[in-house]
Chains A and B, each alone.
Chain A
Amino acid sequence: MDDKHSIPVVEMVDIVKVFPGVRALDSVSFSVQQGEIHALLGKNGAGKSTLMHVLTGLYTPDSGTIRIRGEIHENLNTAKAKQVGIALVAQHAKFVPGLSIAENVYSGMLPLNWGGFIDWKKMYRDAQEKLGQFDIDIDVSRLMEDTTVAERQMIEIARALFADASVIILDEPTAPLPKHDVAKLFEFVRRQRARGASFIYISHYLEEIFEVADHVTVMRNGVVAGVSPVKDITQPELIRLISGANVERYKRESGKIGNPVLSIKGLNRPGAYTDVQLTLNAGEVVGLTGLEGSGPGELARGLFGLEPLGSGSVMLNDSPYIDGSPISSLKQGLAYLPRDRHGLGIVAIRSVRDNVSLSVLDRLQQSLNLIDGAKEKELVSDFIDILGIKTPSMETAVENLSGGNQQKVVVAKLAATEPKVLILDEPTQGVDVQAKVELLRIVDKLSQRGVAVAVVSDELSELMDICDRIVVFYRGKIIREFRKNHEPITTALLLAAIEGETLENTNASV
Chain B
Amino acid sequence: MQASKHIPTLLDHLIWVILVGVFIFFVFQSPVFLTSTNITNIFTAAAVLGILVVGQTFVLISGNFDLSSESTLGVCALFGMYLIVPATPPYWGGGILINPYLSIAVIIITGSLFGYINGLLITVGKMNNFIVTLAMLLILRGLMMAFTQGKPISGLNFPPAEVYFWLGHESLFEIPDLIKIPVGVMATGLIFIIGHIVLNHRRFGRELYAIGGNKQAAIASGIDADKRVRQAYIISGGLAALAGWMLAGRVGSIQVNLGDGYIFTVMAAAVIGGISLQGGRGTMLGALGGVLLLSTIDRGLNLMSVSVFWVKVIQGLIIMFAMFIDAQRVRYRKPQAKVAAVTASPANPA
Contact = CB atoms under 8 A, between A and B. Distances in A.
* Chains A and B are bound partners: yes
Given A348-B337, A354-B210, A371 B201 contact: yes
Contacts, number: 143
Contact of A399 (B5, B222, B336): B336
Nearest to B207: A361
Contact of A92 (B197, B219, B347): B347
Interface residues on A, range: 35 or more
Contacts of A350: 209-210, 213, 280
A420 B339 CA distance: 36
B20 interface: no
B222 A359 contact: yes
B216 interface: yes
Nearest to B205: A371
Given A347-B218, A358-B218, A370 B197 contact: yes
B175 interface: no
Interface in A264-304: 304
B39 interface: no
B2 interface: yes
Contact of A348 (B203, B213, B222): B213
Interface string B333-347: 000110111111111
Nearest to A175: B346
Interface string B190-219: 000000010001110011011001101111
A407 B217 contact: no
B260 to A, nearest CB: 35
Nearest to B346: A175
Contacts of A431: 345
A338 B346 contact: no
A359 B221 CA distance: 5
Interface residues on B, range: 35 or more
Contact of A358 (B210, B342, B348): B210
Interface in B315-350: 336-337, 339-350
11 contacts: A149-B350, A326-B220, A327-B222, A327-B224, A340-B347, A347-B209, A349-B281, A350-B280, A354-B210, A400-B340, A430-B346
Interface string A361-404: 11001000111010000000000000000000000000111110
B337 A354 contact: no
A329 B345 CA distance: 26
Interface in A422-437: 429-431
A18 B203 CA distance: 41
Interface in A234-279: none
A338 B218 contact: no
A89 interface: no
Given A350-B209, A370-B202, A326 B219 contact: yes
A364 to B, nearest CB: 8
A330 B222 contact: yes
Interface in A97-151: 97, 148-149
B9 interface: no
A175 B344 CA distance: 11
Interface string A405-418: 01100000100010
Contacts of B224: 327
A7 interface: no
Contacts of B216: 343-344
Contacts of B203: 361-362, 365, 369, 371
B330 to A, nearest CB: 11
Given A340-B348, A430-B345, A400 B336 contact: yes
